Structure 1
Amino acid sequence: MHLAAFWFGLVCDTAGTEMMRRIAESGGTSGGPGLHAILGALALVLMAIHAVWATVTYLKQNPATLRTFHRFSLSVWGLWLLPYVGGLILANMK
């Protein structure tokens, strides 16, 4: 069940990011490679790596791999928060 949640989360976050990109473009903002866009892209890449690693970890069932996976999960989540919170701050500054 958790494994499906990782993949579903990646699909939803990618879809949401694409929708926000389209909204930003329609509002006349370029959505160019600013810090927010770079962090967002990095977060999506890390989420994809995270989902793949979750699949490998689930299939191996190795205790050492599980410990490493949990530490990596916290790092990915923390990094994901940067563009998320950054977007909220940028939106409220306008």
Structure 2
Amino acid sequence: MSLFILWGAVFFTLALVFYSVGIWNDYCHKQLKKWHITMFGLGVLTDTLGTLLMYLHVGYLIFTAHSISGFLGLFLMMSHFCWAFLAIRNNDLQLLNNFHRFSILVWSFWMISYISGLYLGINGLG
């Protein structure tokens, strides 16, 4: 196994942990806190590093259902992080109103990419 793939998988799993802790704690308590933004940011950072390592392993961009869902998931995570940051910074109740439901949608979409990557990796198809 390539070190790029190994470390990419480690970073994707760290992204899963960071992002899930932030999402589910915020969702259960219905109150966005600053430490949630830190978790979202660490999730985005580690997912970006994992994506970069997978790109370096392949050497070029490929467009499969998995890679497209991965890029869309990363884009949604980044947007979600920005939304949370702006809502907390501006103490904007309107931005916070639908934040919790949107969080679960972003997390669910990202999980599709994570699980498909796990499946492809286990089966040697990735």
CA-atom RMSD, angstroms? 1.8
Contact 1:47–1:76 under 8 Å retained in 2: yes
Distance 1:53 1:79 in 2: 17
Identity score, percent:
34
List gaps (5 residues or longer) in structure 1: none
Superposed CA deviations along residues 4-49 of structure 1, whole A, max 9, x for unmatched, are 22122111110011112223x16xxx65100011000001110110
1:65 Cα deviation from its structure 2 partner: 2.9
Report the counterpart of residue 33 of structure 1 in structure 2.
Answer: 63
- AA aligned opposite 1:14: T
| TM-score of the aligned structures, taking structure 2 as reference length | 0.64
8 Å CA contact 1:50, 1:76 repeated in 2: yes
Determine the structure 1 residue equivalent to 2:78. Answer: 48
Of 34-43 and 7-16, deviating more is 7-16
Q: Does 1:83 align with 2:113?
A: yes
Structure 2 match to 1:6: 40
For normalisation by structure 1, the TM-score amounts to 0.83
